[in-house]
Amino acid sequence: MKLGWNLKTGFERYLTPWRSADDPTPGDVSFRLDNSTAKHARSGPWNGQTFEGIPWMKDSVFKLIVEHKEDEVYYKFKPINDTVTTRLQLENNGTYHRFVWDETTSKWHKLYSWPFDHCDNYAECGANSNCRVSETPSCECLTGFISKSQEDWDSPDSRSCVRKPSDCPGGEGFLKLPKMKLPENYWSNQSMSLRECEAECTKNCSCRAYANSQVVGGGNGCLMWFGDLIDIKECSEKYVWGQDFFIRVPTSDL
């Protein structure tokens, strides 16, 4: 099964659950390869092996595949061998489950459910903030940023952090944040190395951050961010993929 777009016709395949257990009309949520405006939860970008921020089990019963062709772009999963049956199930509350069929018990076994926790809620901590489920409070401004006001920070609907004043480019550098789900709304160049990506971002003072677009083969490709950094999570779980994320900060914060 494919989830994604036919780029020539505009036809999209996606999952939508029933409205309720006894009402088969389409519900209000969907699971799709899209960048829609009203998000409940969002994975990070595809990194060549998986989508960041969602469960990923190396050498598991299935593998994820993303194809970007001339006439279509889609996501699918493929069992490692033909004896395995696995499926996704989307609930009408926005939670999806991954199941695998257990031949010994003749039952579906749940591998995982997602979202995991409140840090998976879209933009839980507002702009330029990091969500860390293992910490209390879980929301904090990224290094190099400060809260607009304490009043804003106490209201989940208006949390936001802004950049500290600094002298670009002489008074700034890049700080590496490991195991991060990367934010949305990035610029991409698949042919650049990480060093070239850093150089390009350094000379443009409006560039807020950069990272590799692919993690396979030691990493390649370039992602850069030029606006607010939205929907970031620290991926502390051992089976949730995160990657190195380099943010522009004043040299005093390096």
Question: Per the structure block, which two tokens stand in for 168?
Answer: 């670009």
Nearest alpha carbon to residue 123 among 51, 209, 187, 181: 181
Answer positive or negative: Cα dihedral of 181, 187, 192, 194: negative
Q: So where are the chain's domains?
A: 3-114, 118-253
Listed in sequence order, the residues at least 6 apart from 73 whose beta carbon sits closer than 8 Å to its beta carbon are 4, 5, 7, 33, 66, 67
**What are the pLDDT digits (tens) for 3-43?**
999 999 999 999 999 999 899 999 999 999 876 668 889 99
**What are the pLDDT digits (tens) for 120-169?**
999 999 999 999 988 888 999 999 999 876 555 555 555 689 999 888 87
Question: What pTM, to 2 d.p., does this model score?
Answer: 0.87
The CA distances from residue 123 to 15, 133, 200, 207, in Å, are 22, 14, 27, 20
Q: What is the separation of C-alpha 89 from the centre of its chain, rounded to a whole number of angstroms?
A: 20
The CA distances from residue 214 to 156, 188, 192, in Å, are 33, 11, 11
**What are the pLDDT digits (tens) for 52-95?**
888 766 657 788 889 999 999 999 988 888 888 888 899 998 89
Listed in sequence order, the residues at least 6 apart from 154 whose beta carbon sits closer than 8 Å to its beta carbon are none
Rg (CA), the chain: 20
